[in-house]
Amino acid sequence: MDNIPVRRLRFKLDEDGAHEEHHPIWSRSCPDFSMFINALGIHVPYFERFLVEVMRKYRGELTDPKLAEDVHAIMGQEAFHAFNFVGWNKAMAHRYPRVAELDEAARVHFEDALATRDKKFQIGFTAGYETFTYLGGMIVLDRYEEFMADADPKMRALWVWHQVEEVEHGSVAFDFYKAFYAKHEWYRRWMVLYAFGHILRETFKGYAAMVRTEGFYRKPLRALKAWKFFLSFGLDLAYAALPVLSRKYHPRNHPICNEAQNDVAVAWRERIAGGADPHSLTDGDVEQMLKRT
């Protein structure tokens, strides 16, 4: 979390034909993970744009130069995340028409929050929401083999990049909140719970549309398996968030954040720093990069 490089990646997933080349059920290892992360990702880019605007609005009031530097970096990372995931939403809408409706609703929701909510809510919600992008990043990377061992190379590259960077800047939104409202622990905790409810509710909407479109309800056991995954991942996120409610919490001291860094994350960073193409991650690429860890 001390090094937050801005990688200016463009996956071009909104181009003509991208929806045919990259099926939304892009992980063969765990198809339900594909649906869950896709559904979660529908509203994520609009939150990321919200984060950028909130931090841009208030960063001039910061007195810590290191935090100001980190804020500048997270804004850069999140801007590129948002650009790419808006593109993926457009591609997914070809298969799931409701994605376009949910995408628009997310855009309006966060634009309204920027226009009507007060400073404390905006900063608090940013910190609460980033709690789960950080924890989700850790969970997904730690369960890489289960979720993405056999997957579309471009989509795997997109999500590994995103999860690695969510962990890299995992403490910035928390520190940003503390810079303004260090004494308001009760409100930070409330925003964690509020953000979790928002994330779960919006992800449910997208996931339900995908389960229906994929025809799982014609096979009740398949539908049950899909919803079991949704529930289990939601519970994993909730359980991982329990330490966040402690007064002594900081992202750097979360139990799943320690010196034993994730092998995939370390290897991916080394690979990209070495000049490899970050827009694709084939099985051979993964095998080669993990040999170096």
Cα separations in angstroms, 57 against 61, 82, 118, 127, 264: 9, 18, 12, 15, 35
Asked if the structure places residue 1 within a domain, the reply is no
Asked if the structure places residue 15 within a domain, the reply is no
Residue range 202-227: mean pLDDT, rounded: 96
Asked if the structure places residue 2 within a domain, the reply is no
**Percentage of residues in the chain having pLDDT higher than 90:** 84
Asked if the structure places residue 253 within a domain, the reply is yes
Closest-CA residue to 39 (of 287, 214, 286): 214
Whether the predicted pLDDT of 257 surpasses 80 = no
Asked if the structure places residue 3 within a domain, the reply is no
Residue range 269-278: mean pLDDT, rounded: 90
Asked if the structure places residue 30 within a domain, the reply is yes
Question: Following CA atoms 244, 1, 152, 84 in sequence, which dihedral angle do they give, to the nearest 10 degrees?
Answer: 90
Q: What is the mean pLDDT of the chain?
A: 93
In whole angstroms, give the CA distance from residue 195 to residue 72: 23
In whole angstroms, give the CA distance from residue 82 to residue 188: 24
Summarised one tens digit per residue, pLDDT across range 65-88 is 999 999 999 999 999 999 999 999
Please give the pLDDT value at position 42. Answer: 96
Contact 237, 132 (CB under 8 A): yes
pTM value is: 0.93
Please give the pLDDT value at position 292. Answer: 63
Closest-CA residue to 127 (of 67, 37, 55, 69): 55
Element (H, E) at 172: helix 172-181
Contact 19, 136 (CB under 8 A): no
Asked if the structure places residue 9 within a domain, the reply is no
Whether the predicted pLDDT of 179 surpasses 90 = yes
Say how many C-beta atoms besides its own lie within 10 A of residue 143's C-beta. Answer: 16
In whole angstroms, give the CA distance from residue 214 to residue 292: 39
Asked if the structure places residue 276 within a domain, the reply is yes
Domains of the chain: total: 1
In whole angstroms, give the CA distance from residue 144 to residue 156: 10
In whole angstroms, give the CA distance from residue 187 to residue 53: 21
Report DSSP state, residue 151. B
What's the one-letter identity of residue 79?
A
3-class SS at 123? Answer: helix
Please give the pLDDT value at position 259. Answer: 61
Please give the pLDDT value at position 260. Answer: 64
Please give the pLDDT value at position 51. Answer: 98
Domain of residue 200, residue span:
26-290
Whether the predicted pLDDT of 18 surpasses 90 = no
In whole angstroms, give the CA distance from residue 276 to residue 254: 32
Summarised one tens digit per residue, pLDDT across range 39-53 is 999 999 999 999 999
Cα four-point dihedral sign 192, 197, 203, 207? positive
Summarised one tens digit per residue, pLDDT across range 89-108 is 999 999 999 999 999 999 99
Using 50, 70 and 90 to split pLDDT, how confident is the model at 258? low
Please give the pLDDT value at position 256. Answer: 78
Cα four-point dihedral sign 176, 177, 181, 184? negative
Summarised one tens digit per residue, pLDDT across range 217-242 is 999 999 999 999 999 999 999 999 99
Cα separations in angstroms, 9 against 76, 82, 240, 247, 263: 11, 11, 29, 37, 22
Q: What would the two tokens of residue 190 be?
A: 């409330």
